[in-house]
Structure formats: C-alpha cells, structure tokens
C-alpha cells in the first residue's frame, strides 16, 4: 500500500519538535529520552505531582509507562491522566508487565477506565491480561491459541476500551475497533535490548502529538518508522550493544524515501 503519509507524518514531527511528557520507568528513562531526541521530538521526564499541571500544560502529549510502580508514581499517573484529559492532550499508555502482578493489571485498568487514554501499546500477554480482567464475560480464551490471535486481540481490545490499540510482536497489529493495520517491519534483535518496546511507545507519543485527530495513523506511523530503523540498525550491527547505538542513529537518519522503500504495512480485514 502507499505509505507516503508515514513519511509526511515524520516530516511534520521533525518540523514541530513536539514536547512529550513521560512518566516512565527507571530502567528506560535515558533510553526513551534519547529515542525521542533522535527521532526529532523533545522529551521531558517528570513525575512529581506538584509540577504535573504546569508540565502537561506545555506538553504536546503524555506517555505513561508503568514499568516500575510504587504508590507515589501511581498517584502521579492517575493525576496526569486526569489533567491531560481535561486539557485534551493525547495520552499513550504502556501497561508494562500487566498480567504479571495484580498491582500492574489494576493500575493499567484504572488508567484506561478514565476514558482519557488515546493509544494503548503493549505485547500480546499484556493486552490479553487487560482485556481478560476488564471483560471477563468476553475473555480472551478463544483467541489465545488460534492463528490470527493478535489481530483479533487488537480489534477486541480497541472495541472494549474505546481507543486505539497496538499489539506488538513478530507482526504488529493496530486497530481502532473498525480498521486494522498489520506492520511487519522489525527484527528479533529488538528483544535483545531492554526498553525497545518502551522506546516505540514514547515515539508513538511524538507522532500522536502532531496528529491528535488521527491516533490510529499515528500509531501505525510510529511502528513502521521504528521497525525500519531497527532493520537498518541490525544490518550494520549484529550484536546487542552496537545494535542499540545504531538504532539511535537510524531513528535520526530515517526519511520518507527509506520508508517508501522498506515499509511493510497493510490494511487487513477485521
């Protein structure tokens, strides 16, 4: 399919340099900040409740990542989602580890149930856990072990929560409950470096910041761009450490011409 719109979205991002406010985990603060800088956005990492309102007022998008939770951070996340909703700022949620513990699952669900989140980005297990807990009568047993499970999961989660859902894996699926896109860019090397999922969540925040009215296309654009950058990085670096460095380089170097050549994105039937 024609993907010129992805390159145009990237160009818009780089021209506007959106400020992306992250409440994220200790493991990936540096990683995600550098990824946002490399792609052309401006990051801020701030979770103190006392400055949330001021920070969100000047931010173009808010990214919430629940990777390292404690009571103070949960309170900050809940307050940030409320403020961002009131200010009509787009919110991207990464439910890191949902399903692994009750705390993570309940925290993610409470943030989702605010109704203010624009995009939910997680892996199959995380999104399955959230959907299973939120809609027990429409649980995920029927889609867990069948072919096309991730596609159906993205669609059902989008319908259930009323937002855009990106289920990432070997093939990424993004849905708004009506349309579904499959993205096949990427490399297994992404699984050898911590925080790459968090990186693409932060970058999704940058794309939706400049396309607030198009969260579906913003999520697709972020995954396509990140996947291609990862492929190019892996072509130049076969080990995790050098791959990580090259990933930043290609987030900086990627352009519309490369996107048009390498994008593997298609619209699929629900």
Give dist(CA 85, CA 269) in Å, integer: 32
Is residue 24 within 8 Å of 65, Cβ to Cβ? yes
Across the range 197-217, mean pLDDT stands at 97
| pLDDT exceeds cutoff 90 at 6 | yes
pLDDT at 143: 40
Residues 6+ apart with CB under 8 A from 191: none
Task: List, as one string, the DSSP characters of the chain.
Answer: ---HHHHHHHHHHHHH--EEEEE--TTTHHHHHHHHHHHT-EEEE---GGGHHHHHHH-SEEEEE-SS--HHHHHHHHHHHHHHHHTT--EEEE-TTBTTBHHHHHHHHHHHTTS---EEEEEHHHHHHHHHHH-GGG-SHHHHSSTTHHHHHHHHHHHHHTSEEEEESSSEEEESSS-EEEE----GGGGGSTTHHHHHHHHHHHHHHH-TT-HHHHHHHHHHHHHHHHHHHHHH--SHHHHHHHHHHHHHH--HHHHHHH--EEEE--
pLDDT band of residue 80 (cuts 50, 70, 90) is very high
What is the residue-averaged pLDDT of the chain? 93
Give dist(CA 167, CA 162) in Å, integer: 15
Give dist(CA 225, CA 87) in Å, integer: 28
pLDDT at 148: 82
pLDDT in tens, 97-155: 999 999 999 999 999 999 999 999 999 999 999 998 654 323 333 344 344 899 999 99
Give dist(CA 208, CA 62) in Å, integer: 10
Distances (CA, A) of 235 to 10, 186, 232, 253: 22, 11, 5, 14
Phi, psi (rounded to 5 degrees) for 91: -125, 130
Strands 91-94 and 119-123: parallel
More confident call, 203 vs 145: 203
Residues 6+ apart with CB under 8 A from 7: 255, 256, 257, 259, 260
Give dist(CA 150, CA 254) in Å, integer: 28
pLDDT at 211: 94
Give dist(CA 204, CA 90) in Å, integer: 10
pLDDT at 132: 85
Give dist(CA 222, CA 211) in Å, integer: 12
Structure tokens at 239: 């080990």
pLDDT at 270: 84
pLDDT in tens, 26-79: 999 999 999 999 999 999 999 999 999 999 999 999 999 999 999 999 999 999
pLDDT at 136: 38
């Amino acid at each position: 399919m024609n993907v010129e719109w992805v390159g145009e979205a990237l160009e818009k991002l780089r021209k506007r340099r959106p400020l992306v406010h992250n409440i994220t985990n200790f493991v990936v603060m540096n990683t995600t900040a550098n990824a946002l800088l490399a792609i052309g956005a401006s990051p801020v990492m701030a979770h103190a409740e006392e400055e949330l309102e001021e920070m969100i007022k000047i931010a173009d998008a808010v990214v919430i990542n629940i990777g390292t939770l404690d009571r103070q951070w949960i309170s900050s996340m809940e307050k940030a989602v409320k403020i961002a909703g009131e200010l009509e700022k787009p919110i991207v949620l990464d439910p890191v580890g949902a399903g692994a513990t009750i705390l993570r699952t309940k925290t993610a669900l409470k943030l989702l149930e605010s109704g203010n989140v624009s995009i939910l980005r997680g892996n199959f297990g995380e999104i399955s856990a959230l959907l299973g807990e939120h809609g027990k009568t429409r649980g995920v047993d029927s889609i867990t072990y069948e072919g096309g499970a991730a596609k159906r999961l993205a669609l059902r989660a989008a319908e259930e929560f009323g937002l855009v859902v990106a289920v990432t894996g070997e093939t990424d699926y993004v849905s708004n409950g009506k349309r579904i896109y499959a993205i096949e860019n990427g490399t297994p090397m992404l699984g050898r470096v911590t925080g790459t999922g968090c990186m693409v969540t932060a970058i999704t925040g940058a794309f939706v910041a400049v396309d607030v009215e198009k969260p579906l296309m913003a999520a697709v654009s972020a995954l396509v761009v990140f996947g291609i950058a990862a492929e190019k990085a892996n072509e130049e670096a076969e080990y995790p450490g050098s791959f990580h460095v090259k990933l930043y380089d290609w987030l900086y170097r990627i352009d519309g011409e490369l996107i048009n050549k390498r994008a593997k994105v298609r619209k699929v039937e629900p």
